[in-house]
């Protein structure tokens, strides 16, 4: 079908991007896999192993992303009973339960991804009381606002960089494909973070007309923050979508049928 020649650019990092790409490819869609970040092992794996071997001084562990879950699962077979596991959204909560069992208790905001985030998690903590000492497991950077707010409210916070994020760099073949495609239908893009917006702009900057081509397209994202960031840099057709694969598929199919 001609509408399926419109590129579908998928920018979610990790296995979830591969899973969604396979799902859409089976439907005959023109899928481009551009994960915003490639997840790499930590620079200091011994520090990660040592810290996760003794959590006696913490009362909460915040897993900032699915990558943080995967990194922790390599060292933690079960969490100490005194630890409250937490995350900032239901998507990562599902990954946590997949890693340590469906009955694993996880503190996180209710609702879909657009109802989540650091601010919602912070409000949740305000209503239930702040922990004494929190370990935030993340990449090299991230969740700085939440860390600062916890510190300001008397929580002792330690950050553990458990993985690295390598930003997207397009290969020469991908750049040539992009250059050719700018003469055709503008894409549908799916991305899931504010960081991914900057990564996208950097990745295409060497191709004349590529940014303008992208801006003519449609972007699906899972939270108001990346939506606002996209609109700031000139994307006009931006919509929120559930992070569940079937909902993303439905949203893409709807766009393909109306444009």
DSSP secondary structure letters along 80-93 = -TTPEEE-SSHHHH
Please tell me the predicted confidence (pLDDT) of residue 4.
53
The pLDDT value recorded for residue 1 is: 42
pLDDT tens, position by position, 225-258: 899 999 999 999 999 998 889 999 999 999 998 7
Query: Token pair for residue 212?
Result: 């303008």
pLDDT for the residue numbered 112? 59
Q: How confident is the model at residue 141 (pLDDT cuts 50, 70, 90)?
A: confident
pLDDT tier at 116 (50, 70, 90 boundaries)? low
Coil vs helix vs strand at 101 = coil
When pLDDT is averaged across residues 44-51 and rounded to a whole number, the result is 94
Question: By C-alpha distance, which of 123, 119, 15 is closest to 67?
Answer: 15
pLDDT at 22 over 60: yes
* Listed ranges 91-100, 122-131, 176-185; the one with the highest mean pLDDT: 176-185
pTM of the predicted model as reported, rounded to 2 decimal places: 0.82
Dist CA 128 CA 118 (whole Å): 15
pLDDT of res. 161: 94
Question: pLDDT at position 111, please?
Answer: 65
Number of H helices, E strands in the chain: 11, 12
Nearest to 105 by CA among 131, 88, 85, 125: 85
What pLDDT, on the 0 to 100 scale, is given for residue 258?
Answer: 78
Looking at the predicted structure, is the pLDDT value of residue 58 above 70? yes
User: In Å, what is the CA distance from 226 to each residue of 21, 162, 231, 235?
Assistant: 21, 24, 9, 11
The answer to whether residues 131 and 59 touch, using CB atoms and an 8 Å cutoff, is: yes
Q: What confidence category does residue 47 fall into, taking pLDDT thresholds of 50, 70 and 90?
A: very high
Residue with the bigger pLDDT between 117 and 21: it is: 21
Please report which confidence band the pLDDT of residue 191 belongs to, taking 50, 70 and 90 as the band edges: very high
Would you say 61 and 35 are in contact if contact means Cβ atoms under 8 Å apart? no
* Per-residue model confidence (pLDDT) at position 120: 86
Closest by Cα among 251, 257, 116 to 190: 251
Residue 134, pLDDT score: 96
Q: Tell me the mean pLDDT in the region 77-100.
A: 92
Going by C-beta distance under 8 Å and a sequence separation of 6 or more, which residues neighbour residue 44?
161
Residue 113: which pLDDT band, with cuts at 50, 70 and 90? low
What is the percent of the chain with per-residue pLDDT over 90, rounded to a whole number?
76
**pLDDT above 50: residue 179:** yes
């Amino acid at each position: 079908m001609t509408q399926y020649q419109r590129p579908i650019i998928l920018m979610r990092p990790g296995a979830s991007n591969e899973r969604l790409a396979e799902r859409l490819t089976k439907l005959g869609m023109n899928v481009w896999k551009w994960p915003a970040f490639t997840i790499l092992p930590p620079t200091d794996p011994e520090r990660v192993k040592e810290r996760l071997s003794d959590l006696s001084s913490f009362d909460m562990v915040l897993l900032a992303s699915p990558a943080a879950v995967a990194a922790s699962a390599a060292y933690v077979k079960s969490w100490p009973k005194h630890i409250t596991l937490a995350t900032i959204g239901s998507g990562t909560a599902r990954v946590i339960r997949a890693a340590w069992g469906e009955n694993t208790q996880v503190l996180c905001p209710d609702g879909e991804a657009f109802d989540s985030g650091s601010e919602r998690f912070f409000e949740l903590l305000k209503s239930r009381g702040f922990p004494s000492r929190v370990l935030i497991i993340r990449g090299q950077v991230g969740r700085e606002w939440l860390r600062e707010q916890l510190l300001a409210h008397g929580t002792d916070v330690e950050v553990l960089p458990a993985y690295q994020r390598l930003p997207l760099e397009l290969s020469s073949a991908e750049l040539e494909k992009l250059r050719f495609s700018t003469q055709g239908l503008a894409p549908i893009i799916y991305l899931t973070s504010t960081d991914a917006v900057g990564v996208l702009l950097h990745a295409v900057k060497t191709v004349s007309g590529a940014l303008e081509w992208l801006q003519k397209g449609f972007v699906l994202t899972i939270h108001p923050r990346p939506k606002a960031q996209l609109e700031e840099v000139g994307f006009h057709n931006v919509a929120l979508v559930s992070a569940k694969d079937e909902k993303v598929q439905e949203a893409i199919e709807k766009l393909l049928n109306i444009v």
